[in-house]
Amino acid sequence: MYDVIIIGGGPGGYNAAIRAGQLGLSVAVIEGAQHLGGTCLNVGCMPAKSLLHASELYEMARTEFASFGIAVEPRLDLARMMAQKTEAVAKLVKGVEFLFRKNKVEWVRGWGRLDGESRVRVTGSTGEISVIEGRNIVLATGSRPSTLPGVCVDHRNIVTSTEALSFTQVPDRLIVIGAGVVGLEMGSIWCRLGSEVTVLEYADTILPGTDREIARTLERSLRKQGLNIRLGVRVASATPSDGAAVVTIEADSGVEAEKLMADKVLVAVGRRAFTDGLGLEVVGIVPDARGAIPHDGHYRTSAPGVWVIGDVTHGAMLAHKAEEEAIECIEIIAGKVSVSDDSDIPVVVYTRPELAAIGASEEELTAAGIDFRVGRFQFMANSRARINHETDGLVKMLVDTASDRILGIHMVGPQVGEMIAEARMALTFAATAEDVARTIHPHPTRSEALRQAAMDSAGWAMQA
Ligand code: FAD
């Protein structure tokens, strides 16, 4: 009998396993896919970041190197770009296998199904069945891409992010349905590599839910780069047609019905918790209306001894959220007082410029009737950004008027994803804007923009 059985070897599952191993618990991870690492390592964060980086270098070589005095004529070798991505991912997957060995985690290969209290039935790749037992079972089965009614994903011309990470040719025309994080990242990659990209979004903003000013700033940058972003359009259908695809946009107030042709259509309208074949009914767990497995706030499901973390439960579908929940869940199982905190999850969009945000948006604070001040600092006035020719964007800090406590930090700018952990730290320690304004930030770094935004919230930004 194991102390912990984890179903799913993604960032939720593998981090839970490593922490369990560190705490001296006996632990097995059941993973049915060929490789450990889940969505994030195999068909999500990591391959996407690999192609974002490579395509950014290509785009810079094409359009910006000359301005730095570097004369080159770049040629795209897509096969090599894809191969380096695959090689990098393979090394990361091996890294997880190494960490399993180091922490005495057993990988049980196969698909797990709950089989009664403390029991999991595992079906291997050739159909062989075994049953393993554990005092605790952690469900970390992740998510799968969602689609829309009328949109027929054939995985050839109408695809999910998984296929769009491995196109063997640059599509002449790519339509992306959904201007969320995945849609904008994938649209950026293929736009840089030469596709004519149209992004269709039902909401009247990209990245719905993001601070409006920040979303609009990123939208302007992406449009300048050539992404054709159409907001407020409802896709009625997408169907394959003669080796291509047709997308129909529904007539709506002010918008006429329209048919658009593309070589590829990427459906990027979000993801759904994945619980197929998991046997939830065997232990009496009922998923919520969106298919996610609910928990009590401390990762306990309604079934005794069964826990849930990551994309398969509610909350943001992000790898670092899954990781945080994994640590907390295992520490609770091990009887420790967990001090993890997943209340404010940072969000990063790895476009160019990047977008990074944490805490409340201006719209949320206004709606809640909170009295707040705003500090802003444009990267145009940040010396490092100017030197690097990367001046698009700003840092925006929202501060409680009475207490000076920071309520939200929203940024668009060069590699602001690397700055958001500082923002998270500030929120974790309930920092005031003055705390940040009086913290030395090395010069010249982009992070000075954060300090200047904090100063600006009190009216004394010094470099603008
Ligand atoms: P998953 O990673 O989905 O892992 C679940 C695992 O469980 C899978 O390996 C699956 O095979 C296995 N499994 C399922 N059912 C069973 C079963 N019954 N038996 C055995 N095994 C089973 N997040 C970020 O934070 N940053 C990013 O930059 C980012 N980029 C992304 C880009 C893309 C294109 C996509 C699609 C996602 C991205 N994400 C990103 C989201 C991130 O990948 C997920 O939030 C994260 O992988 C969730 O981890 P998880 O462990 O909950 O689930």
- Domain 353-457: assigned CATH number: 3.30.390.30
The answer to whether residues 255 and 223 touch, using CB atoms and an 8 Å cutoff, is: no
Confidence of residue 373 (pLDDT cuts 50, 70, 90): very high
Residues forming a β-bridge with 137:
5, 306
pLDDT bracket for residue 251 (50, 70, 90): confident
Q: Which two tokens stand for residue 253?
A: 């107030």
List, by residue range, all CATH 3.50.50.60 domains of the chain.
2-145+272-333, 158-269
Nearest to 205 by CA among 220, 224, 187: 220
pLDDT for 367: 98
Q: Tell me what pLDDT residue 343 has.
A: 75
Nearest to 317 by CA among 281, 269, 276: 269
CA distances from 90 to 37, 85, 259, 394 (A): 10, 9, 40, 36
| Closest C-alpha residue for ligand 1 atom 23 | 318
Q: Could you tell me if 8 and 32 are in contact, meaning their C-beta atoms sit under 8 angstroms apart?
A: no
pLDDT for residue 338? 74
pLDDT digits (tens, 9 = 90+) for 432-463: 999 999 999 999 999 999 999 999 999 999 99
Taken as a whole, the chain contains a residue count of 464
Q: Distance between CA atoms of 261 and 241, rounded to whole angstroms?
A: 9
Active site residue 443: yes
Q: How confident is the model at residue 253 (pLDDT cuts 50, 70, 90)?
A: low
Can you tell me the mean pLDDT for 360-370?
A: 98
**In angstroms, how far is CA 14 from the centroid of its own chain?**
17
pLDDT band at 154, cuts 50/70/90? very high
Across 404-409, average pLDDT: 98
Q: How many angstroms separate the CA atoms of 359 and 325, rounded? A: 18
Q: Which of 155, 410, 441, 443 is catalytic?
A: 443
Atom of ligand 1 nearest to the CA of 275: 15
Q: Residue 164's pLDDT band (boundaries 50, 70, 90)?
A: very high
Burial of residue 1 (number of CB atoms within 10 Å: 0-12, 13-18, 19+): exposed
0.85 cut: is pTM over it?
yes
| Per-residue pLDDT at 61 | 98
pLDDT, tens digit (0-9, with 9 covering 90-100), for 86-122: 999 999 999 999 999 999 999 999 999 999 999 999 9
Q: Is residue 2 within 8 Å of residue 134, measured between CB atoms?
A: yes
- How high is the pLDDT of residue 275? 97
Cβ–Cβ under 8 Å, residues 207 and 218 = yes
∠ CA 199-204-208 to the nearest 5 degrees?
A: 80
For the CA of 318, the nearest atom of ligand 1: 45
Q: Please report the pLDDT score of residue 254 as a whole number.
A: 67
Where does residue 261 fall: left (phi above 0), alpha (psi -120 to 50 degrees), or beta otherwise?
beta
- Axis-axis angle for helices 319-333, 11-22 (nearest 10): 30
Query: What string of DSSP letters covers 264-320?
Result: EEEE-S-EEE--TTS-HHHHT----TTSPPP--SSSB-SSTTEEE-GGGSSS---HH
> Minimum mean pLDDT among 146-150, 305-309, 340-344: which range?
340-344
Cα gap 358→348, rounded to integer Å: 9
**Residue 308 CA: distances (Å) to CA of 182, 286, 305, 313:** 24, 13, 10, 6
What is the token pair recorded at 122? 């595992």
DSSP 250: P
Evaluate whether 272 touches 291 at the Cβ level (below 8 Å).
yes
Provide the residue type at 357 as one letter.
A
Superfamily classification of domain 2-145+272-333: FAD/NAD(P)-binding domain (3.50.50.60)
Mean pLDDT of the chain: 96
Query: Which residues lie with the beta carbon below 6 Å from any ligand 1 atom?
Result: 7-13, 30-33, 38-40, 44-45, 48, 111-112, 140-143, 161, 182, 274, 277-278, 310-311, 317-320, 322, 350
The model's confidence at residue 256, banded by pLDDT at 50, 70 and 90, is confident
In the chain, CATH 3.30.390.30 sits at 353-457
Indicate the top mutation candidate among 19, 45, 121 to test ligand 1's pocket, ranked by most ligand atoms within 8 A of CB: 45
pLDDT at 45 over 70: yes
> pLDDT-based confidence at 332, cuts 50/70/90?
very high
Topology (CATH level 3) of domain 158-269: FAD/NAD(P)-binding domain (3.50.50)
Q: In what order do the strands lie in the sheet with 258-262?
A: 235-241, 244-249, 258-262
